[in-house]
Structure 1
Amino acid sequence: MSLIGKTIEPFKANAYNAGTGEFIEVTDENMKGKWSIVCFYPADFTFVCPTELSDLQKEYATLKDLGVEVYSVSTDTHFTHKAWHDHSDAISTLEYVMIGDPSQKITRSFDVLDEEEGLAQRGTFIIDPDGVVQAAEINADGIGRDASTLVNKIKAAQYVRNNPGEVCPAKWQEGEETLKPSLDLVGKI
């Protein structure tokens, strides 16, 4: 079942704020009032995961400039996130919040829990300031994600939210033409 257009479910979790080096509590309310990216990954101390999370860090400043907060989530604990941050060259660069979900509640609510393994799948979600999912992508375990694509998706989602009645075509870049769906366009694109 698709989560697009649905409000995220309430949750409360412990997290490691890699930017401040502190343990914090995060709830669904933290994701309201601003744009959020939630990036689920299978496990700390693994192989593809650190490449993805460090790639996401490379886009973090740009995303922050767009008013976006980033949260990574795995079924590890917040303690494990800190240990990984302290011991991995790639993960030590992270500045965003790393949510621990050992209860699997958040992972299950986003429908990215691999029930057999008890681990999160590679799911990425863009959530608007109302707490509504606007985009979702789920990859197989062996396929790493490219965080640079999130910047354009965020810009498109923000544009559509701020310009009702307009839509962004494929490969849309900020400043390019958008479309206004109407009978006049049917069959002409």
Structure 2
Amino acid sequence: MLTVGDKFPSFKLAAVKAGPEGLGGPGKSFTEISSESDAGKWKIVFFWPKDFTFVCPTEIAAFAKLSGEFADRDTVVYGVSTDSEFVHLNWRVYNDDIRDLSIPMLADIKRELSAALGILDKEAGVPLRATFIVDPDGTIQWASVNGLNVGRNPQEVLRVLDALQTDELCPCNWTKGEEALDAQKLFEKAA
């Protein structure tokens, strides 16, 4: 699996648009998103195993509820699975939790991005619940992966993004607004 310090792979994927525009019907609901989209911004890229499942919409909806918080941090959020953009659209139409989704749903139908990241489940052939924070230069700054049956915590992703954007030393459980560690003071105290 690619990890911190690795370049996020180049990609170009079909996607269902974010927001109500995503429910405009075939021809109006789709866009293309690539590694060049939203240049200069931080990116949260999270993967789920399959559409029309049970844990996945809880995570997708939770990320969407925080989309304004991410946007305030000059960060875009992309959700990805190996289902097609047509399956994504149909799922949104019939699932109240994601109908008005404020983030795009990318379709990695050839599994190229998932394979390049090394996150395909060896038995099921679908993406694990992987999450990446990618800096504006395209470098992975945080990577996390859960198995197929356990959802992740988007609040924690936001907390880690806040810490990364400080460019400071942030202790365990640090949250935005708290002081970062001052290494010089810690050395002086230890001396």
Q: TM-score, normalised by structure 2?
A: 0.89
Listed as ranges, the gaps of 5+ residues in structure 2 are: 23-28
SS in 2 for 1:63: helix
Runs of 4+ residues over 3 Å off in structure 1: 180-188
* Per-residue deviation, residues 65-101 of structure 1 (Å, max 9, x unmatched): 1111110000001111111111111111311111001
Structure 1 residues 173 and 76, CA, compared in 2 at 3 Å: closer, same or farther?
same
Query: CA–CA distance in 2 between the matches of 1:156 and 1:184?
Result: 19
Q: Does 1:17 align with 2:43?
A: no
After TM superposition, give the deviation of residue 185 of structure 1 in Å: 3.2
SS across alignment from 1:92? coil
Tell whether the 8 Å contact from 2:2 to 2:117 is kept in structure 1 after alignment: no
Partners of 2:49 and 2:189 in 1: CA distance: 43
Structure 1 stretches lacking a partner, 5+ long: 161-165
SS at match of 2:66: helix
CA 74–183 in structure 1, closer or farther in 2 if over 3 Å, else same: same
Match of 2:26? Answer: none
Task: Call closer, same or farther: CA 1:99–1:179 in 2, change over 3 Å.
Answer: same
One-letter amino acid of the structure 2 residue matched with residue 97 of structure 1: P
Which residue matches 2:145?
A: 138
Q: CA RMSD in A?
A: 1.9
Q: After the TM superposition, which of the residue ranges 17-26 and 174-183 deviates more from structure 2?
A: 174-183
Q: How many residues align?
A: 183
Secondary structure of 1:176's counterpart equals coil
Distance 1:94 1:11 in 2: 22
User: Aligned partners of 2:184, 2:63: CA distance in 1, in Å?
Assistant: 37
